[in-house]
Structure 1
Amino acid sequence: MIPVIAFGEALVDMLSSRLGEAAGDAPETLAPEVFTPYAGGAPANVAVACARLGVPSRFLGMLGEDHFGDFLARELAAHGVDTSGVVLTREARTALAFVSRDAHGERTFDFYRPPAADLLYRLEHLPAGVFAAPAILHLCSNSLTEAAIAETTLSMAEMARRAGCLVSVDANLRHNLWADGAAEIALVTRLLDGADLLKLSTDELDYLRADHPEDAWLAERLAAGVKAIVITDGAGEVVLKGVGLEKRVAPPKVQAVDTTAGGDAFIGGLLAELAMHLGEVGIDGDWHRDADFLARAVETACRCGAHAVTRPGAYAALPTREDLARLKS
């Protein structure tokens, strides 16, 4: 198998103890709200997801030299992630996200970022020879929210492609991280078009395509060089698209408790399957034309996502192979 390298933000999810609070609830009737820290951050979650599934993974990013940065570094290492590409800084704090959940486990985020340490990562912080061997580089749009980190992210993707690595991108839009309160469509699309594998939700697809017909927008991404696109819809069917390829996969039915890591568990599971497959066929193989492999990989990814949403937090909710074996279809 080949390794997965994830770049971007690692942050602490402060998960609220309140579940399903109604808008009209009087404050005096509510129990005290307690926030429990969980290690998180979408790219970091993906690195952990791959490691827990037995695939070598590495996280690249910057953490504050503070209590929460130490916590995240320990958690990443404890789950088997290579943290030799993690840089510590005193110039900014580790990012926090305060997470509230409704009765169905769906969450909303209040981010304490910027400023944050992860936004200060630059190309000079890359470990020597990081892309010297075949690997999958995984990225998200949250490292596009400021000009300097966007330049780092786009340049890193280009470096990985030139080195012969495969690039994976999860749109993972968090509009409240952007200065204008909405993701910059042109910049996000530029990152998406540099991917080999692209994952986005139906909501993200609708936002990014704006007034373009869905099929035409997806065709433009494939024409730009994207080899496979997976479109998730919460508990609904996952759509897999490629050139001359379209499949639908239904996830297992589960009772969601916290959806924080559902999408990251999904893409982590998909990348783990791809990393193992590429170890057999080679990174230059026609993996994207193998409809049977892709369907099986998406089925595994769906099982990973389903498992994760039944547990609170991110890292701790990500499944092992044994967890997947116990999950009912």
Structure 2
Amino acid sequence: MLKVICFGEALVDMLSTGSDGGAPEQFRKFPGGAPANAAVAVARLGGAAWFAGMLGEDMFGRFLHDALRDYGVRTDYVRFTGEARTGLAFVSLDAVGERSFEFYRPPAADLLFRSEHLPDTAFTREGILHICSNSLTEQGIAQVTEQLVQRARDNGWLVSFDVNLRHNLWPAGTADRAIVLRLLRQADLVKMSREELDYLAEGDPEFVSTLLRQGAALVLVTDGARPLHWYSHCDRGELLPPQVDTVDTTAAGDAFVGGLIYQLAQQRVGAPAIRAWLESDALMRVLRFACACGAHAASMEGAFSSLPNQRSIRAFGSALSCEFDFPNEERLP
């Protein structure tokens, strides 16, 4: 089993419970944040996941730290600061579970994490580093993200990048395309939505092919309940995810990428092995599993609480007649 480090923001999702009879909309707190969700997804499935990030010394920071630990994520690389508060995201849901966000960030504690907060020992064994674009929104944290990616690559780690654009977190109101592209060129595994692909490609039909030529081994383009498109250095294809009644899409993408990373970690598919692995017949089985994890999360409320464990994903797949391989559980000592 490879070690997995998910770096970036952990924040509190204030999730709408709706309004009843004209009463004011109400919100309930849930632990969240894309890289934190991915770490929990890996851990719940039986993987060895660490979260690396900064939390505020406040009630929300302690809530997140305890939730990460309770869901099996290792918190050795979590740091606390009194210089900023933990970030909040208010999430409203429409009738089909799609989200709109209002972020209370910046300022926020996660933006104050620095490279020296992650010790050199973090990268001593082979592993996978997972990042998202919300740690690129300001110059300081963007520089740290690039430094950590370089440290991971220098130690032979596989780098996973979920684009996960939240334009309203960027100072200009839209994501800085140049910064995101710079990180895309350093990632082995890239996951983005159809809308994110359209934004970044700017109409270039060769955009994905260019990413593959620049070094990406696998590019995944999700599109909600519509087919997933995948592209590798040796092939391409599509896969229809399981069709479910959507309740809340808050962590569906993170569940998908967490399921994928878990499978890679369990099969010990790191940076040195991924291209040979992609030439085998394993990819489609793993993608079916990852899609089932995403559908599982979309069918439930919340972020951490909607992510599957071994028992629930087996039951979920069986109920939908969704066939996928589930590797034997194996944990680091």
Q: Is 1:284 paired with 2:284?
A: no
> Could you tell me whether the CA contact under 8 Å between 2:3 and 2:125 is conserved in 1?
no
Cα RMSD of the aligned pairs, angstroms, is: 1.3
TM-score (structure 2 length as normaliser): 0.93
- Give distance in 1, aligned partners of 2:281 and 2:270: 17
> Could you tell me whether the CA contact under 8 Å between 2:127 and 2:270 is conserved in 1?
no
Q: How many residues align?
A: 317
- Give distance in 1, aligned partners of 2:312 and 2:280: 26
1:192–1:44 distance in 2 versus 1, CA, 3 Å: same
Q: Is 1:231 paired with 2:221?
A: yes
Which residue of the other structure, out of 203, 207, 211, is the alignment partner of 1:211?
A: 203
> Could you tell me whether the CA contact under 8 Å between 1:2 and 1:276 is conserved in 2?
yes
Aligned-partner residue type, residue 304 of structure 1: C
Which residue of the other structure, out of 187, 194, 201, is the alignment partner of 1:202?
A: 194
Name the SS for the 1:183 alignment partner: coil
> Could you tell me whether the CA contact under 8 Å between 1:247 and 1:295 is conserved in 2?
no
Q: Is 1:326 paired with 2:309?
A: no
CA-to-aligned-CA distance 1:219-257 (integer Å, 9 cap, x gap): 110011000011100011111101221121111110011
Name the structure 2 match of 1:259. 249
- Give distance in 1, aligned partners of 2:276 and 2:4: 16
Aligned-partner residue type, residue 322 of structure 1: R
Name the structure 2 match of 1:298. 287
Name the structure 2 match of 1:25. none
Q: Which consecutive unaligned segments of at least 5 residues does structure 1 have?
A: 22-28
CA-to-aligned-CA distance 1:270-312 (integer Å, 9 cap, x gap): 000111112xx66522345335211111110000000001111
TM-score (structure 1 length as normaliser): 0.94
1:73–1:324 distance in 2 versus 1, CA, 3 Å: same
Name the structure 2 match of 1:9. 9
- Give distance in 1, aligned partners of 2:265 and 2:225: 25
> Could you tell me whether the CA contact under 8 Å between 2:167 and 2:175 is conserved in 1?
yes
CA-to-aligned-CA distance 1:35-82 (integer Å, 9 cap, x gap): 100000000000000000000000000000000000000000001100
CA-to-aligned-CA distance 1:98-140 (integer Å, 9 cap, x gap): 0000000000100000000000000111124111110100000
How far the C-alpha of 1:32 sits from its partner, in A, is: 2.9
> Could you tell me whether the CA contact under 8 Å between 1:245 and 1:291 is conserved in 2?
no
Aligned-partner residue type, residue 46 of structure 1: A
- Give distance in 2, aligned partners of 1:289 and 1:96: 38
- Give distance in 2, aligned partners of 1:150 and 1:108: 24
> Could you tell me whether the CA contact under 8 Å between 1:227 and 1:288 is conserved in 2?
no
Question: Within 5 Å, which residues of 2 pair with 1:144-163?
Answer: 144-163=136-155
1:147–1:256 distance in 2 versus 1, CA, 3 Å: same
Identity across aligned pairs (percent)? 51
> Could you tell me whether the CA contact under 8 Å between 2:39 and 2:49 is conserved in 1?
yes
Q: Is 1:33 paired with 2:22?
A: no
Name the structure 2 match of 1:142. 134
Which residue of the other structure, out of 67, 74, 81, is the alignment partner of 1:82?
A: 74
Aligned-partner residue type, residue 207 of structure 2: W
- Give distance in 2, aligned partners of 1:284 and 1:94: 37
Q: Is 1:310 paired with 2:299?
A: yes
> Could you tell me whether the CA contact under 8 Å between 1:3 and 1:56 is conserved in 2?
yes
- Give distance in 2, aligned partners of 1:157 and 1:262: 25
Name the SS for the 1:218 alignment partner: helix
How far the C-alpha of 1:319 sits from its partner, in A, is: 0.3
